[in-house]
Amino acid sequence: MSEFEIKTIVNPQTADREYIREVAETKRALELWTMEPGFRERFLAAPEETLAAHDLSVDALAVKILADHDTAVKYQKTPPAELPRTVRRYRGFIREKVTERERMIKEFCVPKHPAFRAWRSRQINRCWAEFGARNRSLIHVPMTYELDLGCSVGCPFCGLMAPRLQKVCRYDEDAELWKGVLDFAKETLGDAAGQGTCYYATEPLDNPDYERFVDDFFEIFGIVPQLTTAISMRKPERTRAFLSDALKKYRRIHRFSVLSLDILHKIYETFTPEELTCVELLPQFTEAPQNKFANAGRARENDTLHVDEGDGNTISCVSGFIVNMAERSVRLITPCGASKAHPTGELRVAKEFFSDLDDFKQVLLSMIDRYMQPEFPKEQPLFLRPSISFRKTEEGVECFHSDKFRLEFRGADALSPALYQDILDKLQAGGKTACDVAEELTEETGAFPAHIFFILKKFEKAGLFLEPYECEGR
Ligand code: SF4
């Protein structure tokens, strides 16, 4: 193999142990940089010795380029072929993960149901306005599943404010319902229904039957859902067995939330770097040098956690349904910035309960029907989103949200800048329907209705209007 060749690791083209070891050890060195107090200083003073003290034999210069900002800047213009091999291989691994995430957003998570697809697309566009570049990391999963009600861990930073563990769904009692729910989700949404996880505001390993539920998920979708666990060390042998089986069936990235330095050390004593190649470690303890709690949920209430100042954030990446098997409920949510009104960074559109499989089918279809319009009816009163600002420009109009987002609509030919501006004036009055706008502007300016409807459709697709269910009572 040429040393310039970059191989995929999450979906390995080869069982090249040395290649994987090199990436895995680099990953561990970078984790130490972000999580182990004092590692950075020790490494900068004595790179090789510090890596050796952690049984790592990777190239110290490569670690420095990847971890240290000043060194990265120094090597910014170095042609890739002249960078240390380890840097190229590690960056190849990161690119592989990013590419997979982008495919999830744009391909795998797109539901086949047309109304659901249109609604999800509007939510994604709304989130560009509300989160800016941060929206790149939100998958907007259309369907996810919870096997318990609440969570046993009780993290003080929990972005979803998970309540205490109250109930778990047992496989022996609910296997048939579970398989029926998955089958119907697949029938309705297509393969996108298998892109979610089997946890949300829950801890997956709280459920003693988690592995059995996941086996059915694999049977139906051919996918092992991502595991994110905060209790990887509660029963290390269970975690190891799950990972080993899961990665044999379906290679993907899983995650451990690391709640303390002590847990980090236990993880490192238990798992080799190679075993954790496909497991991201998330620093979730205050001593970790690069720990950052999201400004959402309980972290916002807890002064000692030092959340980011400024706008509320979210850890939710669901634009769609959460099916809770323990309390038999379906909720429809989509991300938003955490605020007093939406402390968990989720717009909770609706929640309904079901009693059995037939009821689940009826509830799911009726929620899609009620809340997800393929397009807005022309008699629908239109309200611009209050979270987005609008102004006229020389070329048309633009919308923006602080310094995070700017979207320009430039007029040209028949769709002149003045037409965009006239439409904005009408919309800013609030509550006019597309028909009202067309009728008034045709009479006042002689504009063609077809052009007006075309521009209004562009605004609608960009997620700039409140959804019909958000306008109720206005
Ligand atoms: S962050 Fe996860 S593990 Fe912690 S309380 Fe919330 S749901 Fe449970």
- Give the model confidence (pLDDT) of 389-399 as tens digits: 999 999 999 99
What's the CA gap between 330 and 320, in Å, rounded?
Answer: 10
Q: Which atom of ligand 1 is nearest to the CA of 152?
A: 8
What's the CA gap between 234 and 151, in Å, rounded?
Answer: 14
Mean predicted confidence (pLDDT) in 292-296: 87
Residues 24-71 pLDDT 10s: 999 999 999 999 999 999 999 999 999 999 999 999 999 999 999 999
- Confidence at residue 414, expressed as pLDDT on a 0 to 100 scale: 80
Mean predicted confidence (pLDDT) in 379-397: 93
- Break the chain into its structural domains and give their ranges: 17-95, 109-371, 389-471
Mean predicted confidence (pLDDT) in 295-320: 80
DSSP string, 134-167: GGGG---EEEEEESEESBSS--TT-TT-PPBP-E
DSSP string, 322-346: EEETTTTEEEEEEE----SSSTTSE
Q: Which atom of ligand 1 is nearest to the CA of 228?
A: 2
- Confidence at residue 308, expressed as pLDDT on a 0 to 100 scale: 58
Pair of tokens at residue 204: 């997956």
Say what the pTM is. Answer: 0.93
* Residue 255: band (very low, low, confident or very high) from pLDDT cuts 50, 70, 90: very high
Residues 402-448 pLDDT 10s: 777 888 999 888 889 999 999 999 999 889 999 999 999 999 999 99
Stated length of the chain: 474
Output the CA 54–ligand 1 centroid distance in Å. 30
Nearest residue (CA) to ligand 1, atom 6:
158
* Residue 4: band (very low, low, confident or very high) from pLDDT cuts 50, 70, 90: low
Q: Which residue has the tokens 């988690």?
A: 210
Output the CA 171–ligand 1 centroid distance in Å. 22
Strands, sheet with 346-353, edge to edge from the N-terminal-most edge strand: 141-146, 318-324, 329-335, 346-353
The pick from 147, 149, 152, 160 for probing ligand 1's pocket by mutation, whose C-beta has the most ligand atoms within 8 angstroms, reads 160
Q: Which atom of ligand 1 is nearest to the CA of 259?
A: 4
Output the CA 307–ligand 1 centroid distance in Å. 16
Output the CA 116–ligand 1 centroid distance in Å. 28
- Confidence at residue 411, expressed as pLDDT on a 0 to 100 scale: 87
Pair of tokens at residue 5: 């060749």
Q: Which atom of ligand 1 is nearest to the CA of 199?
A: 7
Domain 109-371 classified CATH 2.60.420.10?
Answer: no
Output the CA 354–ligand 1 centroid distance in Å. 25
Quick check: helix, strand or coil at residue 14?
A: coil
Contacts 24+ apart (CB under 8 A), 102-111: 104/139, 104/195, 105/138, 105/139, 105/140, 108/191, 108/192, 108/195, 109/139, 109/140, 109/141, 109/142, 109/192, 109/195, 110/142, 110/192, 111/142, 111/143, 111/188, 111/189, 111/190, 111/192, 111/193, 111/320
Other beta carbons within 10 angstroms of residue 421's beta carbon come to 16
Q: How far is CA 342 from the centre of its chain?
A: 18
What's the CA gap between 212 and 325, in Å, rounded?
Answer: 14
Mean predicted confidence (pLDDT) in 225-238: 98
Q: Please, are residues 463 and 375 in contact by the beta-carbon 8 Å criterion? A: no
Output the CA 37–ligand 1 centroid distance in Å. 24
Q: Which residue has the tokens 């006042």?
A: 444
Mean pLDDT of the chain: 93
Strands, sheet with 254-258, edge to edge from the N-terminal-most edge strand: 228-229, 254-258, 279-283
Q: Which atom of ligand 1 is nearest to the CA of 202?
A: 7
pLDDT at 301 over 90: no
Pair of tokens at residue 196: 């979610």
pLDDT at 7 over 90: no
Angle at 449 between CA 443 and CA 450, to 5 degrees: 165
Nearest residue (CA) to ligand 1, atom 1:
158
Output the CA 190–ligand 1 centroid distance in Å. 29
- Confidence at residue 303, expressed as pLDDT on a 0 to 100 scale: 65
Mean predicted confidence (pLDDT) in 360-382: 96
* 145: nearest Cα among 220, 232, 257, 237: 220
- Ligand 1 neighbours (beta carbon < 6 A): 151, 153-155, 158, 160, 162, 201-203, 230
- Confidence at residue 304, expressed as pLDDT on a 0 to 100 scale: 61
* Residue 355: band (very low, low, confident or very high) from pLDDT cuts 50, 70, 90: very high
The answer for residues whose C-beta is within 8 angstroms of residue 347's C-beta and 6 or more apart is 333, 334, 335, 336
Q: Which atom of ligand 1 is nearest to the CA of 154?
A: 5
Mean predicted confidence (pLDDT) in 322-344: 95
- Confidence at residue 436, expressed as pLDDT on a 0 to 100 scale: 96
Other beta carbons within 10 angstroms of residue 55's beta carbon come to 11
Between 7-16, 94-103, 200-209, 417-426, the lowest mean confidence (pLDDT) is in 7-16
Output the CA 333–ligand 1 centroid distance in Å. 18
Residues 115-160 pLDDT 10s: 999 999 999 999 998 888 889 999 999 999 999 999 999 999 999 9
Quick check: helix, strand or coil at residue 460?
A: helix
Count Cα atoms within 13 angstroms, Cβ side, for 395.
7
Q: Which residue has the tokens 């972290």?
A: 299
What's the CA gap between 81 and 84, in Å, rounded?
Answer: 8
Nearest residue (CA) to ligand 1, atom 4:
155
Between 323-332, 376-385, 393-402, the lowest mean confidence (pLDDT) is in 393-402
Output the CA 201–ligand 1 centroid distance in Å. 6
What's the CA gap between 32 and 24, in Å, rounded?
Answer: 12
What's the CA gap between 352 and 323, in Å, rounded?
Answer: 10
- Confidence at residue 16, expressed as pLDDT on a 0 to 100 scale: 83
The pick from 146, 149, 158, 263 for probing ligand 1's pocket by mutation, whose C-beta has the most ligand atoms within 8 angstroms, reads 158
Pair of tokens at residue 213: 């539920």
- Confidence at residue 343, expressed as pLDDT on a 0 to 100 scale: 93
